[in-house]
A and B are shown apart, each in its own frame.
Chain A
């Protein structure tokens, strides 16, 4: 993509200016989780939503994400099927992909480290959402497990505190605490692996 003011070329996937006057600069990535509309509005009752009343109203289509498309099978590396969904995570220039399948087998939660930073990656199959957060909270490293009572919450093992998928602590006594977002989003493997050919891939076991 290109900005109109300077005509600098920017990469969609990570906000780097690759050509032009602003080459070398990078936009700050902030959290933009994919989620079902039902779950998003349940968690954000006052949310606004993009109006579909545009000139292009009749162009909008639902389409399947993550389904096999033979034309896309050409892309990416072969460690995973082209259309496999992953949660792609970046820590200081190191990239790692967590297959949604692997996350589901781990009850939706993986505690890991990238570039020496402890992170937790989650995927909630019902809300179709997934992201990564730092596990460092208040100078301590936490380890997370699924909540027994709420499928869309994480429990930190040390204190038993529960955290919602937006990274907010929801237990009594920890109000206001939140997990730090780590640049991450859900991607089809072919796109992630072609853009980050040196990406690590989380392996089960």
Chain B
């Protein structure tokens, strides 16, 4: 997955997207109102891609899907979208295409063991199915995406 990374995230993406409930394939979002697709910033800002990056040490549960397939970038599968008039053009000197590395099957520790966090650090907090999980902003700023499973519910954390 390719994306432009700037010094600070282009977005404060801390919404949480929950995909289908447990038991269903995560391919099928639970709700599917007929929405008019909106031109996305991700598509309009994405540059033409390079090849796949150095192998990610994070093993994906879907690696069998990815392996053997040709390199794909957002740009190559996404024709140019109409650009919203307010969307500015990136300063070329500021463009730097970087791959970010999503988290797959992330691991967690108890609050008392999180010595790497200070009380004034920011987290994204999730309560789902009776469980509470925190995603430190300083980690999500790097990964942008975490694919997680909370008590049987597949969730996508984006930042």
Which residues does A use to contact B, with CB under 8 Å? 1-7, 9-20, 22-38, 40-41, 44-56, 59-63, 65, 69, 71-72, 74-77, 93, 128, 166, 183, 185-188, 191, 193-195, 197
CB < 8 Å A-B pair total: 277
Q: Are A50 and B108 touching (Cβ within 8 A)? A: yes
Q: A26-B29, A37-B117, A49-B117 given as contacts; is B158 within 8 A of A12 (CB)?
A: yes
Q: Are B125 and A44 touching (Cβ within 8 A)? A: yes
Q: Which of B1, B27, B74 contacts A22, CB < 8 Å?
A: B27
A49–B112 CA distance with the chains assembled, in angstroms: 10
Closest CB in chain A relative to B14 CB, distance in Å: 5
A197–B84 CA distance with the chains assembled, in angstroms: 7
Q: Are B101 and A56 touching (Cβ within 8 A)? A: yes
Q: Are A62 and B138 touching (Cβ within 8 A)? A: yes
Q: Are B136 and A17 touching (Cβ within 8 A)? A: no
Count residues of B near A (Cβ-Cβ below 8 Å).
92
Q: A28-B31, A30-B155 given as contacts; is B133 within 8 A of A36 (CB)?
A: no
A contacts with B: majority SS: loop
Measured between beta carbons, the chain B residues less than 8 angstroms from A166 are: 127
Q: Are A27 and B142 touching (Cβ within 8 A)? A: no
Q: Please tell me if B37 contacts chain A, counting CB pairs below 8 Å.
A: yes
Q: A17-B29, A26-B35, A41-B134 given as contacts; is B14 within 8 A of A50 (CB)?
A: no
Q: Which of A14, A26, A56, A62 contacts B121, CB < 8 Å?
A: A62
Which residues does B use to contact A, with CB under 8 Å? 1, 3, 6-8, 10-19, 26-27, 29-35, 37-43, 57-58, 60, 62, 65-66, 72, 74, 77-79, 81, 84-88, 91, 94, 101-103, 106-111, 114, 116-128, 131-139, 141-146, 155-158
B143 nearest CB neighbor, chain A only: A56
Q: Are A3 and B138 touching (Cβ within 8 A)? A: no
Q: Are A16 and B27 touching (Cβ within 8 A)? A: no
B56 nearest CB neighbor, chain A only: A55
Closest CB in chain A relative to B87 CB, distance in Å: 5
